[in-house]
Structures are given as structure tokens and as C-alpha cells.
Structure 1
Amino acid sequence: MIRTVNLPGGTALPLIGFGTWELRSKTAYESVRAALDIGYRHIDTATLYKNESEVGRAVKDGGVDREQVFITTKLRPQDARHARRALESSLRLLDTGYVDLWLIHWPPGRDALVPAWEELLAARDAGLARNVGVSNYSPAQIDLLTEATGRRPAVNQIPWSPGQHDPALLDEHRRRGVVVEGYSGLKNTDLNDPALTEIAQRHGVTPAQVVLRWHLEHDIVILPRSSHRERIAANFDLEGFDLTAEEVAAIDTLTRTG
């Protein structure tokens, strides 16, 4: 059973997603096929990644009903002036009538913040995106969007790892009802840190699995990426062990940002 978190509109967002950044052509296709075969039901892509067609084909060929796969793509800020056209291009490449989540990849210039958000909301109202959100936004920027439109982002996708996390920032999102998706959780972590290797040894798992499980203990959505089937499987296999409160607290102290 895949753990999920409910988005404001009621959509169930799987806490474990498969990231596709830097996966291209045949590798992207085969990796997404492997992820779906292993059990992932949340695939994260973006216009910037240039792999939407391979992701779409893998979902189509994967034998899983489209309604069972949560697909996210992202709008480049420079495309915000013609956002609808950019989304329609993404939908053609993905070969689907809608995405489950459409994010703006990072904030555009201040004058474009609200207009870009209005474009995402219009796409949601038109049924092209079931949920809309942001990526790499600050709480103040989220407040600006909410105050201007009365509608807040469902999600903010931001860097999150034991070495780069901020409990106060997480609280700011929770208070606003915005789900946090963490990216680069493994890339920004020293997997040889003794705190992680000792916990991993205790549970008979890898340090990477410990880091990903730590995210889940904090209800952070994770988006691990790999092109190796065994690693794709290991990153998904996180339900066979639990971290104790003490272990979670020990990992929390690895932060460099305080």
C-alpha cells in the first residue's frame, strides 16, 4: 500500500515519487517503465527535462491505468507568458489529456509572479491540470499568490535533505496547508556519515533508504531518481522498517542550515 497525502482538492498524492531529472531518451523510458513495474505510481517530470514524450510513452506502455498514475510536470518561468501553450505542448508529449499536478519550476520576476499563478489556476479550472503548485518559492511568495487570487498552491517542491532542511520552514508550509515535496534528498547528503551508516546497519538497510525513510517520517514527499533497476527498487522499499524517534532526531541534527 503506497502512503499518500491529500491535496486541498482531495487528490491523493503518493509520498514516494519517481524523479526523472537528467534521464533522457531510452534511459528515461526504461527507468519509468521499471519504476511503474516496481510499484511507483507518482512520476515527476518537467518541460526543462526534455523527456516528457518518453515518460508519457512509458506510462502508456506500462500496463497501469492512467487514473492510477500521478503525473507531475513543470512550467519554465520564461514560458509563463504563454503558459497554456506550454502546458498543451506538455500534454501532447505526455500523450494525456491532463496532468495531476502542474508546477511553475521556479519564481519568475516579481511582476510576473501573480500573472503566472493566474495562468496555472486557469489551466486547473479548464481541467488540464487537476492540481497546481509551485517549486522553489518562499513562504512570502506563496502568501503573495494567495492574497492576490484567494487560492494557494497545493504543493511547493523545494530542496530537502538531512544536510539541508529547516523545521521552521516546514512549519510555515504546514500552517498554510501547502504540501512540501523534497528534491535532491540523496544528492545533497553524505551517505557515509556515521550517523546514517550506523542506523542503516541497525536496520539492515542502506544509508540511502534511511535518508528516504527520514523524509517519510516527516511526511515530506520524496522524488528519488535512478537509472538502475535495483536502486529504483531499493528507493521504493521503505515500509519494512521504521526509524525510532531518537534516530529521526539524530538525523535532524545533520543539517548545515540550523
Structure 2
Amino acid sequence: MISIASSVKLRSGYCMPLLGFGVYQNYTTAQSVREALGAGYRHIDSAQAYRNEAHVGEGVRASGIPRSEVFVTTKCINRTHGYESTLKGVDTSLARFGFDYIDLFLIHDPMSGAERRLATYRALLKARDEGKIRSVGVSNYGVKHLEEIKAEGLELPAVNQIELHPFCQQKPIVAWCREHGVVVQAYCPILRGKMDAAEIQVIAAKYARDPAQILLRWSLQHGFVPLPKSARPERIVSNALLYDFELDREDMMVLDGLDRGREGAISWNPVEHP
């Protein structure tokens, strides 16, 4: 089995751990990050809009884990998009984290329109070239938005972070990303705790695992990078215990069969925004 520290190589040449720890709406972020790093996570997913970048930095430093061993992501939301505002935002995020660089910087969503999101992307590439960012990516991008970057002749994103779980599999976006070498990160991988579907419960009982572990294992076996979040220490630990079992083909097919397309989304999922 793979270990928790196993990584995927991004087009930038840097490696990203396959399991991340999300901190959206986490009100004990510094403590949770410290606990996650103690449990073996090496990948933290934050955002400017989460208002906890400073707490992430505090948690990383308090963990005793060298900064070089922790992969940290942040994102810029649509209201901050634009070339100059994005460059300024990168510097602000660096100051909040207290870091010299950010491992991965994502455009949080495509909702600012083509002109501003392309300007934002170009600004992130400039910040990358200046050494402030190591890898540039996007989030909530549909095929249209990805093709927009390609049509401009720009380097494709290293990552596309989208809502992804058995009920919302976003297959056209995933297929495009795989064809073009864009790594897919999965947010809401454990359905925000709403895991009472009979199929999930039956499979969890079969493997003597909790439903969250089943969903995360499904994500990993599909080659996604899941980003579970929790503020509960016991859940932080259990969500990482994924590497001593494997779902068989039949159970993967059962979970694959739960797809409801965009109707299965539980978050904002703005992948079809103009």
C-alpha cells in the first residue's frame, strides 16, 4: 500500500502529497493544523477567503515539522481578481502565512469573467516566475474555463480543485484534466458528513471502516487528491488511516454508480459559470 506521504508530481516539477487537510470554516485552525501534521498529513489547503492563512502558518511552525516538508495551498476569490490586485494579494498571503513561498496558488473560482480570470492567471504565473509561488492552478474550473487558458497559449494549470465525490463525479472535467496532465483535487470528498446512503453504509460495514474512510479511499483509487476537513482530533486521525485496505472492483463500481452529475453537488460548484 502507498503511505500517507506519497505524492504526485505536478507539471511544475514539484511533488504534492496525495492526501490534503482542508481548513474551510475551521475555527481552531492553528491547533487543527498542528494535529493534522502530527497525524502524518503534509498537505494543507487554505484560501484567502477562509481568513485563516495566519493560523495555518502558526500551526505549521508550532508543529515542529520543517516548512520544506509541508505543502501549503491558498486561493484568490473572484472579488480580488485582476492583474495588480492578484500580485498584491500574493504578497499579502505570504505575509499572513509568514512564509517565503506558497507551494500552490489557485484561482478560487471562474466567476469574475474571462478578462479578469485570465489577468489573474497571468499574475500568478509572474509571481511563480519570481519565486513567490511554486505551482499555479485553478479551482471550480469547467472545461470551458480550462480551454480558455489553452487558447491563450498559456501554460496549463498544475491543478484543478473541484467538488468531487461519488454523487458528483464531474466526469467531463476529470476527463479533460487527465488528457492534459492537470491533477484533480477533490473538495467535499466526505460529503460534509452526510454519509448515510445505504450503499456507503453497506460497504463501510464490509470493510469494518467508517464511511469517511470508504469515500476517501474511493477518491484515492480514482487518482484524485482528496481534501477532507475536520476540527475533531479523532476524525483528523481516522481520515488519514487509508492505506492498509483497498476497495475491490465491485465496490468501486457501486460507488461509481451513485453519480447524479451536477445535481449531486452539495457545495457552490460554479463550474458552468460564463
Interval of TM-score (by shorter of Structure 1 and Structure 2): over 0.9
**What are the superposed Cα offsets for residues 140-190 of structure 1, whole Å, 9 maximum, x if unpaired?**
211211221431011011100111113343111100111111101222674
2:135 is the alignment partner of 1:124 = no
Amino acid at match of 1:177: G
> In the TM superposition, what is the alpha-carbon distance from 1:224 to its structure 2 partner?
0.4
User: Helix, strand or coil for the counterpart of 2:162?
Assistant: strand
2:255 corresponds to 1:254: no
Contact 1:163 1:189 in 2 (8 A): no
4+ long deviations beyond 2 Å: 166-169, 187-190
C-alpha contact (below 8 Å) 2:45/2:227 kept by paired residues: yes
Matched, 1:63 2:72: no
Aligned equivalent of 2:265: none
Deviation at 1:83, TM superposition (A): 0.7
8 Å CA contact 2:81–2:117 kept in 1: the answer is no
Q: 1:178 aligns with which of 175, 182, 192?
A: 182
In the TM superposition, what are the counterparts of 1:102-121 in structure 2 within 5 Å?
A: 102-107=105-110, 108-121=112-125
Residue 90 (structure 2) pairs with residue 87 (structure 1):
yes
Give the distance between the partners of 1:245 and 1:166, measured in 2 at CA: 20
**Number of aligned pairs?**
256
Separation in 2, partners of 1:53, 1:46: 11
Identity %: 37
Q: Which runs of no fewer than 5 residues in structure 1 stay unpaired?
A: none
**Correspondent of 2:104 among 73, 76, 101:** 101
Write the deviation string for residues 195-242 of structure 1: whole angstroms up to 9, x where unpaired.
Answer: 111111111110111001000000111110000000000111100110
Say whether the 8 Å CA contact 1:103–1:133 is kept in structure 2. yes
Q: Which amino acid aligns with 1:80?
A: H
Comparing 33-42 with 106-115, greater Cα deviation is found at: 106-115
The 8 Å contact of residues 164 and 256 in structure 1, kept in 2 or not, is answered as yes
TM-score w.r.t. length of structure 1: 0.96
Q: How does 1:147-158 map to 2 (within 5 A)?
A: 147-158=151-162
| Residues 73 and 102 in structure 1, CA contact (< 8 A), matched pair in contact too | yes
CA–CA separation in structure 2 for the residues paired with 1:188 and 1:40:
19
Q: Is 1:201 the equivalent of 2:202?
A: no
Contact persistence 1:17–1:222 (CA under 8 A): yes
Match of 1:52 in 2: 53
What secondary structure, in the 3-state scheme, does the structure 2 residue paired with 1:130 have?
Answer: strand
8 A contact 2:143–2:172 mirrored in 1:
no
**Any stretches of 5+ residues in structure 2 without a counterpart?**
263-274
Question: Aligned letter for 1:83?
Answer: T
3-state SS of paired residue (2:102):
coil
Q: Partners in 1 of 2:106 and 2:63 — Cα distance? A: 24
1:90, 1:117 → 2: CA distance?
Answer: 16
